[in-house]
Amino acid sequence: MSMAADERNARAPWALTAPALMLFVGVLLIPLATTVMLSFHDWGQYKGIEPVFILKNWHEIATDPYYAEMFWRTFRVAILTTLLTALLGAPEAYILNRMSGRWKSFFLLVILGPLLISVVARTLGWALLFGGNNGLVNKLLMSLGVMRSPIPFMFTETGMIIALAHVMMPFMVLSVWAALQRLDPQIENAAMSLGAGPTTIIRRIIMPQIMPGVLSGAIIVFSLSASAFATPAIIGGRRLKVAATLAYDEFLNTLNWPLGAAVATLLLVALVLIVVGSNALIERRYAEVFR
Amino acid sequence: MRRNGPLALTFHAIFVIVMVAPILVVCLVAFTPEGFLSLPTNGFSLRWFRTIANYPEFIHAFWVSLGLGALSSFVALLFAVPAALAIARYRFRGRDALAALFLSPLMIPHVVLGIAFLRFFTSVGLGGSFAALIIAHVIIVFPFALRLTLAAATGMDRTVEMAAVSLGAGGWTLFRRVTLPLILPGVISGWALAFIQSFDDLTMTVFLAAPGTETLPVRMFLYIQDNIDPLVTSVSACVIAVTMTALILLDRFYGLDRVLAGKGDTGR
């Protein structure tokens, strides 16, 4: 690659990236920094935002059990959603991978396509399916004999987790699918010829190899679920708050921006720590696979 | 071992049904002839699609969303194409850091972005304006525009460019007549994927939109918060139709599998 005209000018890459860099510094980095600063400002019902440096908002979040409960709910919902997507998504990716060509691409499209369809529309679908005590889901479960009396899905964490798992499922299937593509199909045959049964093959051959895919999918699903807004807001209603919906309330209803900024900053910091930390752990544990 | 047993196929069937059910139920309820939420058991009706016409705020919101998606994706490409060419072709100090910065909107929760932008645009006097929405959307769709353009620029055959240079082409002519046409499929797909992201965004936009600049997802969300009726299902069905159209466009130009494979990296 000798592009003399280009290489003579060492400033070319900077000239090409400068507009985007300026945009990102001006409109992304500076606003993010001011948001962190905002969380240290004071706020009062009548005086509005006062640009002073106090720890009032952070102190309130740390001491008021309401916030502890809300953050705990946020992470509980995210963890259970992640578990649900892993338990169902990983086997599904495996089954998909064993299908023949045309069916494989058809079902891959059916399962991954929803990724690009409006989250509001998908959550609305769940709201319709749940819909009160005589919703379709309850009717179906009762007619199948799974349960005797209807259970509430709307405005509960159960409903929130089911709908979120549906929204996030494509990410998990995609991630496990990518891991399966690196797997040599002959290994399964080799194990079988050595006398391993199907359970052993799945447990000793398949599982260890797709685990990195499951874990990286889990990180994506967890971080997106913990910061999800539309699904918790529609299914959870006005009472069942998670971090994103609470920050929204503080900003657009209570108008206590500094407190809302503190909630958002804490969410961002917690997520960055969790994602970076678990990424490092996974890479150390599975260094072999990533090499 | 290469075949799926009956148990696996049953699991697969239930899985696919559950994945499709919520989307299907929205589209079916949209065609109900009744005045309340119900599956269309006795005949299909376009009644609720016609009712949309009586709600000018939905129609206005649709045009806002369409214009915002088209424009912000276009502006994002104006910044992303040169950046992608630089990242694809040069090895320079800070290259990885720049790429990470440009992809960072994928990793920052949209609620945090919404708050940051709301504060920022209010303080510079652009609060609730369409311009603010455009700038904010340029940032959130930038990673998608960048990634597909980058893929096209990396895979490009540069001998054609060299031929053009040897024939005397340079600078702008080289870009417009040679480079751009070669990376155009990637650029168009980047635009389409960016459009879908912009068109569907609720979490960030809900902080920035004011009456008059509400996008369709925001309008739908605010409506659903008050009550759920067949009207919002017919609006959703229209949204799904628009997304499907963009998806088909993407598939034609680029291949949906490649687009989705890229999307799986979100959050890493």
Q: Report the gap between the CA of B35 and the closest CA in chain A (Å).
A: 15
Subunit contact A136:B25, Cβ cutoff 8 A: yes
Domain-located, residue A164: yes
Does the pLDDT of residue A106 top 90, yes or no?
no
Domain-located, residue A237: yes
Subunit contact B98:A21, Cβ cutoff 8 A: yes
Choosing among 2.170.270.10, 1.10.3720.10, 2.120.10.10, 1.10.287.610, the CATH entry for B55-263 is 1.10.3720.10
Q: Report the gap between the CA of A211 and the closest CA in chain B (Å).
A: 16
Would you state the pLDDT for residue A224? Answer: 94
Domain-located, residue A119: yes
Subunit contact A124:B261, Cβ cutoff 8 A: no
Would you state the pLDDT for residue A291? Answer: 44
Q: Name the percent of chain A lying above pLDDT 70.
A: 94
| Residue in A with minimal Cα distance to B193 | A116
pTM of the model: 0.89
Subunit contact B139:A112, Cβ cutoff 8 A: no
| Residue in A with minimal Cα distance to B18 | A166
| Residue in A with minimal Cα distance to B201 | A118
Tell me, yes or no, if A287 comes closer than 8 A to chain B by beta carbon: no
Domain-located, residue A4: no
Query: Among A187-191, A228-232, B57-61, B144-148, which is the least confidently predicted range?
Result: A187-191
Query: Among A242-251, B130-139, B161-170, which is the least confidently predicted range?
Result: B161-170
Residues 40-79 of A with CB under 8 A from B: none
Would you state the pLDDT for residue A287? Answer: 66
Does the pLDDT of residue A123 top 90, yes or no?
yes
Of B86, B119, B267, the CB nearest to A220: B267
For residue A21, which residues of chain B lie inside 8 Å, CB to CB? Answer: 83, 98, 101
Of A5, A247, A268, the CB nearest to B108: A268
Arithmetic mean of pLDDT over chain A = 88
Domain-located, residue A15: no
| Residue in A with minimal Cα distance to B163 | A3
Subunit contact B104:A28, Cβ cutoff 8 A: yes
- Mean pLDDT of the A40-54 span: 85
| Residue in A with minimal Cα distance to B227 | A234
Would you state the pLDDT for residue A27? Answer: 94
Domain-located, residue A2: no
Domain-located, residue A50: no
- Mean pLDDT of the A239-246 span: 93
For residue A261, which residues of chain B lie inside 8 Å, CB to CB? Answer: 115, 119
Report the complex ipTM: 0.88
Q: Which of B3, B14, B19, B96 to mutate to test the interface with A (most CBs of A within 10 A)?
A: B19
Would you state the pLDDT for residue B125? Answer: 93
Domain-located, residue A33: no
What are the DSSP calls for chain A, one per residue? ---HHHHT-TTHHHHHHHHHHHHHIIIIIHHHHHHHHHTTSEEETTTEEE-----HHHHHHHH-HHHHHHHHHHHHHHHHHHHHHHHHHHHHHHHHHTS-HHHHHHHHHHHHGGGGS-HHHHHHHHHHHHTTTTSHHHHHHHHTTS-SS----TTSHHHHHHHHHHHHHHHHHHHHHHHHHTS-HHHHHHHHHTT--HHHIIIIIIHHHHHHHHHHHHHHHHHHHHT--HHHHHHHTTTS--HHHHHHHIIIII--HHHHHHHHHHHHHHHHHHHHHHHHHHHHHTHHHH-
Subunit contact B221:A127, Cβ cutoff 8 A: no
Would you state the pLDDT for residue B194? Answer: 93
Q: Which of B9, B26, B92, B238 to mutate to test the interface with A (most CBs of A within 10 A)?
A: B26
Domain tally, chain A: 1
pLDDT digits 0-9 by tens, B192-213? 889 989 999 999 999 999 998 9
The domain that holds A252 is classified in CATH as: 1.10.3720.10
Domain ranges of chain B: 55-263
Does the pLDDT of residue A2 top 70, yes or no?
no
Would you state the pLDDT for residue A232? Answer: 96
Does the pLDDT of residue B264 top 60, yes or no?
no
| Domain that residue A235 falls in | 65-290
Place of tokens 């052993």: A200
